[in-house]
Structure 1
Amino acid sequence: MYFSKRKIDFFHPYIVPVAILIFLVMGYIGSFNYRFEDPLNAQTILTIIFAAVLFTVASFIVSKKVTIEKTAEINFISEKILIIFIILALVLQSLNMVLLGGIPLFDSVLKANATTNLWRIAYPLFLILINILIAKYYNRKYLLLVLLGALVFGLNGYRTSVVGILVSVFITMYYIGKISQKIGILFVIIIALGGLAVGYIASQSIATQTWTLNPVELVFYRAAFTQEVLEKIIPLAGTTNGHILSMIFSSGSPRSFIGNYVLHYDVCLTSTMFGPVLLDFGYIGLTIQMLFMGAFLKIIHSIAKNRVGISIYSIILTHTLIWIETGPTDIMIWFLYLLGLILILITFKKH
Structure 2
Amino acid sequence: MIELNHLFLILCCIYLIFSDISLYSSLVFLFSAIFFYMSFIVGKRLYFRIFNENNINEGINNFNKKNIWLYIGLLFVFIGLISILADIIWINDIPLFNPIVRYHLNVYFTTLSHLIFIGWALILSYYNIEKKRVKKVILYTLILSIPIALLGYRTNVLVLLLSTIAVLYYKNLIETKDIIKYFGIIFILLVIMSILRMYFLDAGGNPILSRIELTMSVYDILFNHFNGVLDGYLHYAAIFSYFGLCNGPRTVIANILGIYGVSITPTIVGSVVADFGTLSIIPYFGFLGIYLGYLYMLAKHKRGVYLGIYGVVFAYTLIAVESGILDLDVIIYYVFGVLLCIYATLKRFLKR
Q: TM-score, normalised by structure 2?
A: 0.85
SS at match of 1:44: helix
SS of the equivalent of 1:332 reads: helix
Opposite residue 118 of structure 1, the aligned amino acid is F
Question: Would the alpha carbon gap of residues 130 and 189 (structure 1) be closer, same or farther in structure 2, given more than 3 Å must change?
Answer: same
Question: Which residue in 1 is equivalent to 2:244?
Answer: none
Question: For structure 1, which segment, 9-18 or 74-83, has the greater mean C-alpha deviation from structure 2 after superposition?
Answer: 74-83
Match of 1:231 among 199, 220, 231: 220
Instruction: Give the AA of the match of 1:331.
Output: L
1:47 to 28, 32, 37: 28
Q: Does 1:271 align with 2:271?
A: no
Residue by residue over 1:85-117, the C-alpha shift from the partner in whole angstroms, topping out at 9 and shown as x without a partner, is: 423421221221122211111112211133620
Deviations 1:286-327 (A, max 9, x none): 222211211111111122222221221111111000000111
Question: Which whole-Å CA distance do the structure 2 matches of 1:335 and 1:51 have between them?
Answer: 23
Q: Does the alignment pair 1:60 with 2:41?
A: yes
CA contact (8 A) 1:13 1:317 kept: no
Q: CA RMSD in A?
A: 2.3
Shift of 1:185: 6.1
Distance change >3 Å, CA 280–CA 18, structure 1 → 2: same
Query: Quick one: percent identity of the two aligned structures?
Result: 22
C-alpha deviation, 1:144, in angstroms: 4.5
CA distance in 2, matches of 1:76, 1:284: 44
> What is residue 329 of structure 1 aligned with on the other side?
326
* Residue type of the alignment partner of 2:38: V
Gaps of 5+ in 2: 242-246
Moved more, 305-314 or 157-166: 305-314
TM-score of the pair, normalised by structure 1: 0.85
Q: Is the partner of 1:121 in helix, strand or coil?
A: helix
- CA-to-aligned-CA distance 1:308-350 (integer Å, 9 cap, x gap): 2122111111100000011111111111102201211221121
Aligned to 2:187: 192
For residue 62 of structure 1, report the CA deviation from its aligned partner. 2.7
Contact 2:46 2:294 in 1 (8 A): no
CA–CA separation in structure 1 for the residues paired with 2:286 and 2:176: 35
For the residue of structure 1 that corresponds to 2:169, the secondary structure is: helix
Number of aligned pairs? 325
CA distance 1:60–1:81, shift in 2 (3 Å): closer
Query: What is the alpha-carbon distance in structure 1 between the residues aligned to residue 259 and residue 219 of structure 2?
Result: 15
SS in 2 for 1:267: coil
Structure 2 match to 1:101: 92
Question: How do 1:1-351 and structure 2 match up within 5 A?
Answer: 9-27=1-19, 39-67=20-48, 68=51, 69-70=56-57, 71-72=60-61, 73-77=64-68, 79=70, 82-83=73-74, 85-114=76-105, 116-123=107-114, 125-139=115-129, 140=133, 141-179=136-174, 184=179, 187-206=182-201, 209-210=202-203, 212-213=204-205, 217-235=206-224, 236-251=226-241, 252-304=247-299, 305-308=301-304, 309-351=306-348
CA deviations over 1:194-229 (Å, ceiling 9, x no partner): 2112222123323xx54x23xxx3211111111011
Q: CA deviation at 1:153?
A: 0.9
CA offsets per residue over residues 160-191 of structure 1, 9 Å max, x none? 11110001101111111222589756633431
Q: 1:56 to 1:142 in 2, by over 3 A?
A: closer
User: Take 1:315 and 1:89, find their aligned partners in 2: how far apart are those partners?
Assistant: 15
Q: Counterparts of 1:98 and 1:56 in 2: how far apart (Å)?
A: 43
* CA distance in structure 1 between the aligned counterparts of 2:177 and 2:44, rounded to whole angstroms: 32
Aligned-partner Cα distance in 2 for 1:78–1:237? 42
| Matched AA of 1:16 | F
Q: In 2 relative to 1, CA 142–290 (structure 1 residues): closer, same or farther, beyond 3 Å?
A: same
Letter in 1 for 2:232: G
